Structure 1
Amino acid sequence: MTHSAMTPAAPSAPAPRAVLHDPDAYTASLIEFVIASPSSYHAAAHGAERLSAAGLTQVHETQAWDESLPRRGWVVRDGALAAWILPETLGPAAGMRIVGAHTDSPALKLKPAAAITRAGWQLINAEVYGGPLLNSFLDRELGLAGRLTTRDGATHLVRTGPIARVAQVAPHLDRSVNDGLRLDRQSALLPLWSLEAQDSAPDAVEHYLCQVAGIDPADLAGHDILTFPTEAPARFGRDGEFLASARLDNLSSVHAALVALEAIAAGPGPQDPAVMVAFDHEEVGSATRSGAAGPFLESILRRLAGAMGLRGDGVEALIARSWCISADAGHSVHPGQPHLHDPAVQPLINAGPLLKINAQQRYATDAVGAALWERACRAAGVPHQDFVSNNTVPCGSTIGPITATRLGITTVDVGQPLLAMHSLREMAGVSDGPWLAQALAAYWQGA
C-alpha cells in the first residue's frame, strides 16, 4: 500500500496517558486524526501507524497464525482495522474484551469514468454514500480521497486538496429556494471541478487522481474514491468547549478506542485479551467483507484464541465469556427541537458519553451490558448519560446488534453525544471524548 505525497505528516504525539486525561491534548489528537483520515482507508492506515508507534506489530491475514503470533498486533482489511493486546497467560475465567467502532462516514462516492460535462462545466459523477444531511454538501470546498487499485493488484491511497464544490442556486434565480430546499440526488449533488474546455475526457478525474498518487493512468484498474470537506476541524464556544468537524460520526469513537489502547499498551497490559475493531461500511448497512455483518471480527477472535493455545470447545467457551462495547456517536438534545427527544431523557454535550438503549433492539444494550458500562465509568471516574428515542422518532442502529447477532456475546451500545450528526460539519464537546476513552481504558483494564 502506498500513500500520495499529499497525506499530511503526523506530528510527534504526547505520552498516551497525557492524551487520555488532558482534554486539550486529546482534542488536538482527535483533530490530527480527522485531518489524516479523509476516507475509511486512510483512517485504517493512520490508526495502524499510531498502533505501530505504540509498540504493536503488523500481522497479515493471509499468513498462518500460531503461538508465535505477536501478543500485541494489528491487521488491516481494506478500510477496517483490528488490533489486540493479549496477556502472557490466559486465566480460566478470561474473556475477550472487545471495543467496536466504524471508520466510514456519509459522503459522495465517485462512479466509474467520473467526469461528465454540462453547460460548459465539467462535473464529477457521484452517488450518495450513506445518509447525509444533503444540504451540508452545499458551497463547501471538497477534496477527493480513497484508494486506487492498479492492474497488478496493488492499492494506493490518495487524497487531494480542495478541488470540487456543489454550488447552490442564488435566490435571485430561484425565489422559492428559501421556502423549502429539496435536492435531487442525481442532478443537484454533482460537484463541479473544472471548465469543459480544460479537459472533457470521461476519465479526466481518474487521470488527475493517478497523477496525484504518482501512478501511470494506464495501470489503473479500479477505485473507491469519496468526497470530503477540506475545512479543518476547529474549536469554538465561549471557552473553546466545542469542536466542529467532519466525520465525528464515527471517527470520534475510533479515536477514543485508539487513545485507550495506546494507554493500555504503555502499561503492564490487561488481564483479559483486549481487542479493538473499527469496521467499514456501517453507514450503508455493514454487509461487506470489512463490515460488521461480515466475518472479519469472528475470524480475528477465533484465530487469536488458537494463537493462545485454545482448541475446539475451549474457543467457544472463550467467546461465550466475552464482551463487546459498540462505540458510535449519539445525539445530544437540540435546543431548537427538544421535542424530537424523549421528554424525560435529554442528554447534553459535555455531560458524559451516552448509554444507548432501544426497546426494538436497534441498540444492543440490555441490563447486563448496562451494568458493565456502569462499572467501567465508575472505575474511570467519568460521568455518563442515557439516550432513548422519542417514541414517535425511530432511531438509527449501530454495529452493536449486528455483532451480538453474529457472535452471541453481551454487547452494549455507547457513544459521544453530537449535534448535527451526518452533517459535513458535526459538533461535539471537548470533554466527552476523553471521558469515553477513559471508560474504554477502564473496561480493558478489567472493570
Structure 2
Amino acid sequence: MAHTPHTGDSPQVPTPEAAVDAAARAHAEDLAAWLAASTSPYHAVANAAARLEKAGFRRLLETDAWDETASGAGGRYVIRGGALIAWWVPEGATPATPFRIIGAHTDSPNLRVKPLPDTGRAGWKQVAVEIYGGTLLNTWLDRDLGLSGRLVLRDGTTVNVLVDRPLLRVPQLAIHLDRQVNDGLKLDRQQHLMPIWGLGRPTEGELIAFVAEEAGVAAGEVAGWDLMVHSVEPPAFLGRDRELLAAPRLDNLLSVHAGTVALVNAATAGAEGAGDGAVIPVLAAFDHEENGSQADTGAEGPLLGGVLDRMIAARGGSAEDRARAFAGGVCLSSDTGHAVHPNYPERHDPDHRPVAGGGPILKVNVNQRYATDGVGRAVFADACERAGVPWQSFVSSNAMPCGTTIGPITAARHGIATVDVGAAILSMHSARELCGAADPHFLARALEAFVSAPGPVGGMR
C-alpha cells in the first residue's frame, strides 16, 4: 500500500470498519493483555521470553561459551536485567549475513521506589519514590496504583514481583486548599508525589517485608530491589466502535510486543521454508531509554554489539565478516510518536499530520534526533508496501524541540544504518496513553516484512 500523506486541518481518518478488522482486533486484544502483564521492564522481558521459548528459541547465558550452542540455525535470546536481545539464524546463513534489527525499549516513565522507602507524616504511611524519565506528573495523581519490579536475593538471584491491586495513591490537594489550581498546577517533585499506602507511623523495612511476602521469599533474604508503581486500571477499548486503545506503557511496550510478534512470525515462516534466509532477524529490546540509554542494558551500552560479535564468532566469522554483516544491515528503531492532538493542532507541523488509524509513522529530523535518511525511507517504504499497510511521515514543528530515541545512538555506536519509525499516539508519557486500535497490527506487519526479506540494504548508503 502506498504512502498516503495527511495534510491540512482535517486529515482523512480511516473508518473504524477499515481500521480495525478481525486480525487487527485480535492483535490489539493480545497487546492489551501483554501490557496488563508487563508492568515493569523485567516482566516485559519475561513475557517476551515466554513467547520466544514457545516458538522454539533457546536462552543463552552471557557467562557461558557460545561455541556449538550458538553456531547452528535456529532461535536464541539473551536476557540482561530489563533488556532482551533475540535472533533467528536461518539455514544457509553465513557469518557475513546481514542483520535486520528491530530496536525498541522496555521502560516507561513512572515513579520508582527509593533505597529507604518507608516514610510518612501526619498519620499517613507513605512510600518514598524517585521520578523516572520525563513523566507527566499530574497523571499519577488520584489514581489507584500497584507495585512491581524485582527483588535481588543475597545469593544474587532475582525474583520478579507483581502487586497488581490497589495499594498506593498519590492524593491531590483539595481545591478548597488551592483555589488557583485550575489556573495552573505546580507539583514539587520531592514534596507532592509520595504515595500513601496506609495509616500510622512508618516502620523501617515494612514495605520490603510486605513485597517479599507477596513474592514468596523471606524478607531477610532480600539484598536489593528495583521496584516501581503502575496504574492498576486495565487497558480498555474506547469509542462507539472500539477503535481506540487506552492503556499504560504504550511507550514503548507497543513496539516490544510488535517486535516480538514479528520475530516469532518471521522465524516460524523461515523454519517452514517460507523465508529466503538472506538476513538474520534480530529483536533488541533495551532498558533505560527514558533516561538517556546510558546503562549496561541501554542502547548506548555494549549489550547489542557484544551479542552480535559473539554470534558471528560462534559461527566462525572474522572481523571482515563482522564488517560486512554490519554494513549490509539495517535497524528499524521502533518507538511511539505523536499523533496530531485535536485540541492542540498548532503544536504540530502543518504539513506532516499523522493520525490514529493511519498506519505506522516514519520519523525524520535533519538534526539527527531521529536517524532516518533517504535510504532509510526507502527501507521503510519497501517493508510497508510488502506488508500491505499504510504509513505516514512525522516531522516536529520547527517551533518545538524534537524528542529522540535509541535510533541515533544505535547508528552511531554500531555503524548500522538506522531508521526511526513507530505508532502514533496521544498522551505520551502519561500514566495512560491512547492509540488507534488498528495501528499496533499495522506496525507488527511492517516489522515482520522488514525482518523477513532483504529489500534495500544499508550498503546502499
- Shorter-chain TM-score bucket reads over 0.9
What is residue 459 of structure 2 aligned with on the other side?
none
Structure 1 Cα separation of the partners of residues 376 and 178 of structure 2? 52
Deviation of residue 196 (structure 1)?
Answer: 1.5
SS in structure 1 at match of 2:172: coil
What is residue 128 of structure 1 aligned with on the other side?
131
Matching residue within 187, 199, 215 for 1:213: 215
Structure 1 Cα separation of the partners of residues 145 and 49 of structure 2? 26
What is residue 263 of structure 1 aligned with on the other side?
265
The reply on whether 1:394 has 2:401 as its aligned counterpart is yes
1:329-375 CA-partner distances (Å, limit 9, x unpaired): 00000001011000111110100100000011000001111110010
1:348-363 correspondence to structure 2 within 5 Å: 348-363=355-370
Deviation of residue 21 (structure 1)?
Answer: 7.6
Structure 1 Cα separation of the partners of residues 96 and 355 of structure 2? 38
Deviation of residue 55 (structure 1)?
Answer: 1.4
Matching residue within 105, 129, 153 for 1:102: 105
Letter in 2 for 1:234: A
Deviation of residue 410 (structure 1)?
Answer: 0.6
Letter in 2 for 1:163: L
Kept in 1: contact 2:79–2:85 (CA 8 A): yes
Using the TM superposition, name which of 387-396 and 256-265 deviates more. 256-265
Structure 1 Cα separation of the partners of residues 69 and 433 of structure 2? 44
* Uncovered stretches (5+) of structure 2, i.e. residues with no partner: 1-19, 456-461
Letter in 2 for 1:111: K
Greater RCO, 1 or 2 (C-alpha within 8 Å, sep 6+): 2
SS in structure 2 at match of 1:268: helix
The reply on whether 1:318 has 2:322 as its aligned counterpart is no
TM-score for both structures, normalised by structure 1:
0.93
Deviation of residue 156 (structure 1)?
Answer: 0.7
Structure 1 residues 90 and 24 mapped into 2: Cα distance closer, same or farther (>3 Å)? same
1:153-164 correspondence to structure 2 within 5 Å: 153-160=156-163, 161-164=165-168
Deviation of residue 282 (structure 1)?
Answer: 0.2
What is residue 10 of structure 1 aligned with on the other side?
none
Kept in 2: contact 1:324–1:411 (CA 8 A): yes
What is residue 418 of structure 2 aligned with on the other side?
411
The alignment's C-alpha RMSD in Å is: 1.5
The reply on whether 1:112 has 2:115 as its aligned counterpart is yes
Identity %: 48
Structure 1 Cα separation of the partners of residues 312 and 282 of structure 2? 12
* Uncovered stretches (5+) of structure 1, i.e. residues with no partner: 1-18
Kept in 2: contact 1:67–1:306 (CA 8 A): no
SS in structure 1 at match of 2:269: coil
Kept in 2: contact 1:121–1:195 (CA 8 A): yes
Kept in 2: contact 1:103–1:250 (CA 8 A): yes
Matching residue within 415, 436, 441 for 1:429: 436
Letter in 2 for 1:41: Y
Using the TM superposition, name which of 298-307 and 187-196 deviates more. 298-307
Deviation of residue 113 (structure 1)?
Answer: 2.0
Deviation of residue 93 (structure 1)?
Answer: 7.1
1:191-228 CA-partner distances (Å, limit 9, x unpaired): 0000125xx21221111111111111112111110111
SS in structure 2 at match of 1:436: helix
Kept in 2: contact 1:20–1:434 (CA 8 A): no
Deviation of residue 88 (structure 1)?
Answer: 1.6
What is residue 311 of structure 2 aligned with on the other side?
304
Kept in 1: contact 2:96–2:321 (CA 8 A): no
1:173-192 correspondence to structure 2 within 5 Å: 173-192=177-196
Deviation of residue 91 (structure 1)?
Answer: 5.5
Structure 1 Cα separation of the partners of residues 437 and 289 of structure 2? 25
Structure 1 residues 92 and 35 mapped into 2: Cα distance closer, same or farther (>3 Å)? closer
Using the TM superposition, name which of 261-270 and 55-64 deviates more. 261-270
The reply on whether 1:252 has 2:254 as its aligned counterpart is yes
Structure 1 residues 150 and 91 mapped into 2: Cα distance closer, same or farther (>3 Å)? closer
Letter in 1 for 2:152: T
The reply on whether 1:379 has 2:382 as its aligned counterpart is no
Kept in 2: contact 1:139–1:168 (CA 8 A): yes
SS in structure 2 at match of 1:178: helix
